[in-house]
Amino acid sequence: MTSAQVEKDVENGKAPEEGYERGLGSRQVQMIAIGGAVGVGLFLGAGANIAKAGPSLIFMYALAGVIIFFIMRALGELLLYRPVSGSFAEYSREFLGPFFGYFTAWTYWLMWVVTGMAELTAAAIYVNYWFPAVSQWVTALAFLVILFVANLISVKLFGEIEFWFSMVKVTALIGMIVIGLGVLTFGFSSAGDTASVANLWQFDGFFPKGIGSSLMTLQGVMFAYLAVELVGVTAGESENPEKTLPKAINTLPWRIALFYVGALTVILCVVKWTEFAPGVSPFVEAFAKIGIPAGAGIVNFVVLTAALSSCNSGMYSTGRMLRTLADNGEAPKAFSRLSASKTPALGITVSVAFMGIGVVLNYVVPEKAFGYVTSVATAAGIWTWLMILISHVLYRRAVDAGRLPASSFPAPGGAKFSYVAIAFLLFVTGLIAYDPDSRVCLYVMAGWTLALAAGWFALKARDPRVTERREPRFEKAG
């Protein structure tokens, strides 16, 4: 936020982010946290990854899940050290310098825009299950318009809508696991005769296409975990972040174990991995193989809901991020204005316009649209996670040196696991560079970097104060 805005807020006795509703209760934050870990990357992306890696995909999700927990504990420590609107962008600004805060905020905006494209693509694919004659781009456009209109709501209503969206996803996943375990245990349904835990290794082993092929799925697996950090943003608007945030982060391991590792393990035991194909949700396919056609249709509806839920969250997040950038003088001032319903309507509108590129991709290259946008979103997400981890390392150094106060929610092992997570993310970036299909995202990111660098120099020429390092503003948690 600019110094003039801060002074005006203080003069009026207002909080720096005055205007937003702080109406997210613990119930909503917890369910948003759970729903954030369950999205289109699992429901749709897992189909292509099973075809590439077979049962070893279970191990890849578990491995990536451990790294995600390290990232979230690092973010949690930072958030309880200084709970601030802007979250990881603000920590990048504080510990690495103003340019990194600017770059991270804009890149997180990009991540959600392209994630929105991926969700629209997935939603179009799900509708194709019922209406194969309808073109993907038509469906994607229809959902884009509907969600744009629905997104201009209050924070409290947003939280309630996301609560029920997440409830649908979580309930459905638990139901799938229970039914799958029933098939394995009692042998009912048309898949009962072939369902077996041995399906995990009987068909060319646990790593049927080699460890190298399994590792190449990590980029898709990491995409599945995008949005888990959203709980840090929403918890900043919760009624009691000091209680809700640690609880939401500490329950992440069991959410990953149940919804990713558990669900995939059950599915791959019920149906052998060779029967799954790219572009088809493994959950829909599993129910079809079990012989419950209505069940497959229900699951398809659930995963459609999941995609629309994530896209809705993306619209909400991008509008907020543009407002944060505008408050820091790093985006047009018009983005800082709120509508009568207390939403950053202009920021949402501009973000939705960019999400419309996804509709164009669905028209031009419908068979490759999902792969393109997920790779770009993953690259942007990896940058965001790296900034969280590097900021955490620098924060811990400052704490050890006595320059900053310790957080009430310290990460286990100090900064050690942050170093492990940094190495892992750099390894995944190397895999992206090696894969010719996903390598395009690095070209996009290179162009994005040049564009942001040019924008930074333009900002500096217009108002040098925008690019100066500022002392952090401490805010009371809760």
Please provide the DSSP assignment of 79-110 as one string.
HHHS--TTHHHHHHHHHH-HHHHHHHHHHHHH
Task: Tell whether the model's pLDDT for residue 1 goes beyond 60.
Answer: no
Return the biggest CA–CA distance within the chain.
Answer: 73
Stated as kind and residue range, the H or E segment containing 352 is helix 345-364
Rounded CA separation 412/268 (Å): 33
Q: Rounded to the nearest 5°, which phi and psi values hold at 92?
A: -65, -40
Listed range (15-19, 40-44, 98-102, 148-152) with the worst mean pLDDT: 15-19
Of the candidates 65, 380, 42, 48, the one whose C-alpha atom is nearest the C-alpha of residue 216 is 48
pTM for this predicted structure: 0.84
- Predicted pLDDT at 73: 93
Determine whether 153 is exposed, middle or buried from the number of CB atoms within 10 Å of its CB (0-12, 13-18, 19+): middle
When pLDDT is averaged across residues 363-374 and rounded to a whole number, the result is 70
Other Cβ atoms closer than 10 A to 167: 13
Q: How far is CA 255 from the centre of its chain?
A: 15
Q: How far is CA 170 from CA 33, 163, 248, 278, 432, in A?
A: 11, 10, 15, 23, 30
Percent of the chain with pLDDT over 90: 21
Task: Examine the pLDDT at 395 and tell me if it is beyond 80.
Answer: yes
CA 12 to chain CA centroid, nearest Å: 36
Burial category of 403 from C-beta neighbours within 10 Å (exposed 0-12, middle 13-18, buried 19 and up)? exposed
The reported pLDDT for the residue numbered 96 is 92
Burial state string for 10-30 with b = 16 or more CB within 10 A and e = fewer than 16? eeeeeeebeebeebbebebbb
Query: How far apart (Å, rounded) are the C-alpha atoms in residues 114 and 374?
Result: 7
Residue 7: how many other CB atoms lie within 10 Å = 10
The amino acid at residue 338 is L
- Per the rule left: phi > 0, alpha: psi between -120 and 50, beta: everything else, 13 is left
Distance CA 338, CA 188 (A): 56
Report the pLDDT value the prediction gives residue 402, as an integer from 0 to 100: 92
Q: What mean pLDDT comes out for the span 44-55?
A: 83
For 368-390, what is the mean pLDDT?
Answer: 84
The larger pLDDT score, comparing residue 153 to residue 227, is at 227
